[in-house]
Structure 1
Amino acid sequence: MTSALDAIASQPALERPDLLAPPVLAALEAWPHADRLRVFEIDPAIADTTALNEAYGLPAETGANCVVVGGARGGDERVAACLVRADTRADVNKVVRRELDVRKASFLPMERAVEESGMEYGGITPVGLPAGWRLLVDSRVLEVDLTVIGSGVRRSKLLLPGALAGELPGAEVIEGLAQ
């Protein structure tokens, strides 16, 4: 565990439902590993990874970003949330496009990602995603002892043991998802 993360005052996630978006809370209540997630409150102004890392003195590899990507093939739209370490970027043009089996993949417009996920921009997380979305997890996320992810809202973050990222409902662990 990273010593900077040890210093963060956190609580069991299910004890602070006020710090979770409704779909995140619902997913955690149904997930057998929810007791291993912790939540901590933050200033919404530092919800973005770089600002959070600066404020808490966290190295980039302790965080994981969740980006939403979509594409279509034959009129069939395919959407995936991609969880990658914060010190990497999802390989949207090659790996994600291939995994979705689409001709072109691109980030979902922010307004649509927010509306469909029921989460706030800057807080979108792989926990509690819409049923039709796939969850692609870069294998390197699993190597991190403890990672910081969104909570569905900008005013808090979740602490997730990296190995559990592969146990999230619907998770597909992909080698080389990120660059």
Structure 2
Amino acid sequence: MTTELTWLRATEHSDLLAEPTRAALAGWPGAEAVQVAEIDPAIADTSALVAATDITLESSANCLVVRARRSGTETLAAVLVLATTKADINTAIRKTLGARKCSFMSMGAAVEATGMEYGGITPIGLPQDWPLLIDERVVAQDQIVIGSGVRRSKVRMPGPLAQQLPGAQVITDLAVPSA
């Protein structure tokens, strides 16, 4: 049996958001369309969330933090892909960032760089100078469910709204369908 989540206006329930997420929503024109729902932190990972709640895999999006390098220059970026896909880090992401090498950041480094909890990292409230690469399938969704910056809640917003986040670039085939 799945639990139906109770969605609340995120700007009115900022206690359910990480500080960087809360601060980003405070000045963002799209904030009124963002909702938050409290969850058990034990089900913060996508597969557990889908199994325990009314959230579908098709509406779930994952925010991944990457490190790209070229000629001694390093770029930190975030990637937003649907849970039904796999980020194409070795080709699409690497080429988009103009990198020679690209890798996912370690858990500790990602937490430190974002100020968010692992398993709750969200594209809302990332450092302003980071590129945010979004797979085109994300913005095609009516609604997406993403992290809130903490493991004890999730955020829901219209998929097209993601392209209005700071640094956002919508990329065709940034991800490939999962096997």
Q: TM-score, normalised by structure 1?
A: 0.94
Identity percentage of aligned residues? 54
**57, 73, 78: which one aligns with 1:76:** 73
5+ residue gaps, structure 2 = none
Q: Distance in 1 between matches of 2:34 and 2:68?
A: 32
Per-residue displacement from partner, 1:126-175 (whole Å, max 9, x unpaired)?
A: 00001232100001001111110000000000001111011111110001
User: 1:13-162 residue pairs with structure 2 within 5 A?
Assistant: 13-162=10-159
CA RMSD in angstroms, aligned pairs only = 1.3
Matched letter for residue 125 of structure 1: T
Per-residue displacement from partner, 1:102-140 (whole Å, max 9, x unpaired)?
A: 111100111011011000000000000012321000010
**166, 170, 177: which one aligns with 2:167:** 170
Aligned residue pair count: 175
Q: How much does 1:17 deviate?
A: 1.0
5+ residue gaps, structure 1 = none
Q: How much does 1:61 deviate?
A: 0.8
Q: Distance in 1 between matches of 2:164 and 2:174?
A: 17
Matched letter for residue 107 of structure 1: F
Q: Distance in 1 between matches of 2:57 and 2:106?
A: 25
The worse-fitting range, judged by mean Cα deviation, of 169-178 and 56-65 is 56-65
Q: Distance in 2 between matches of 1:167 and 1:133?
A: 14
Q: TM-score, normalised by structure 2?
A: 0.94
